[in-house]
């Protein structure tokens, strides 16, 4: 999506070969008009897929998912990074390893909000190592929900997540795919 690529070139900051800062418009200060354009693009790409719910993950996915959901006319559920031990049986839970921060976190979704009748679009801001999306796919599998696909804003295509998730049969639509980057230079696929 040209508009997002242009914005990344204008306002994104490549910190090192691995980390792109987009906190002025995507994951801290949020440009909701840009989110609207992104939501319209996913709605076009996934038209006719029968999406009836969007599933995202705390925290940065939520804003993007909510704006996208308006285009689909469906609710958003977000996987919560759990801080308390939840009573087994009430929630689906999965572990999401963090390659950037180390360790892993358990994320949960109430069983009341995901089930076999759901056909999900997964949304997140970044696709890097793929841990977050794979966690969402696992939650969907546990719930017996179908995954229509995944929409991500920025895919760092030089990291392995996108290839692995597509190889697993999930359709991934990234609105900006970065082939390589270094301070002052970004090359899109």
Name the site residues for ligand G4P (rule: CB under 6 A). Answer: 19-22, 27, 59-60, 98-100, 125-132, 156, 161
- Nearest CA to 106 out of 91, 128, 126 is that of 91
Nearer to ligand G4P, 60 or 94 (CB): 60
Q: Are 126 and 161 in contact (CB under 8 A)?
A: no
Closest CB to ligand G4P among residues 90, 187: 187
Least distance in angstroms from the C-beta of 57 to ligand G4P: 7
What is the rounded distance in angstroms from the CA atom of residue 34 to the CA atom of residue 100?
A: 26
Nearer to ligand G4P, 52 or 104 (CB): 104
CB of 126 vs ligand G4P, minimal distance in Å? 4
Q: How far is CA 24 from the centre of its chain?
A: 18
Q: Which is nearer to ligand G4P, 118 or 124 (CB)?
A: 124
For 164, other C-beta atoms within 10 Å of its C-beta total 14
């Amino acid at each position: 999506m040209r508009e997002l690529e242009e914005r990344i070139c204008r306002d994104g900051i490549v910190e090192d070969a691995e980390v792109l800062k987009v906190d002025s418009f995507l994951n801290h200060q949020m440009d909701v008009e840009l989110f609207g354009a992104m939501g319209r693009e996913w709605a076009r790409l996934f038209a006719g897929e029968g999406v009836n719910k969007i599933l995202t993950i705390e925290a940065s996915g939520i804003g993007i998912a909510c704006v996208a959901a308006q285009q689909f006319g469906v609710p958003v559920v977000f996987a919560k990074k759990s801080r308390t031990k939840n009573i087994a049986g009430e929630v689906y839970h999965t572990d999401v390893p963090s390659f950037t921060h180390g360790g892993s976190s358990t994320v949960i979704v109430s069983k009341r909000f995901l089930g076999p009748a759901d056909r999900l679009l997964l949304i997140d801001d970044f696709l890097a190592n793929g841990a977050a999306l794979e966690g969402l796919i696992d939650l969907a599998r546990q719930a017996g929900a179908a995954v229509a696909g995944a929409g991500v804003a920025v895919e760092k295509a030089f990291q392995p997540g996108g290839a692995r998730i597509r190889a697993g049969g999930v359709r991934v639509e990234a609105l900006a795919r970065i082939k390589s980057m270094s301070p002052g230079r970004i090359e899109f696929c």
